[in-house]
Amino acid sequence: MKNITLNVQGMSCGHCVKAVEGSVGKLEGVNGVNVKLEDAQVEVTFNESQVSLGQIKETIEDQGYDVE
């Protein structure tokens, strides 16, 4: 299991939190997603053999947010 924290710009409300947590949480291999709205961060716990960091970032970007 790997745990990462991504800086994500553009999240501003509860809907943003649900969009990110819902979409990333559906990825196979993702065990946990925690959005810290105040800090503009997303913590993800995932299995590297099932999902890549690139896939996670792309999924967040597909929701309309910028991953730094």
According to DSSP, the β-strands at 30-36 and 66-67 are unpaired
Which parts of the chain register pLDDT below 50? none
- Domains in the chain, number: 1
Burial class (CB in 10 A: 0-12, 13-18, 19+), 41: middle
CATH for 29: 3.30.70.100
* Domain span holding position 37: 2-67
Q: What pLDDT digit, counting tens, does each position of 27-46 carry? A: 999 999 999 999 999 999 99
Residues of the chain with pLDDT > 70, as a percent, come to: 100
pTM for the predicted model, two decimal places? 0.94
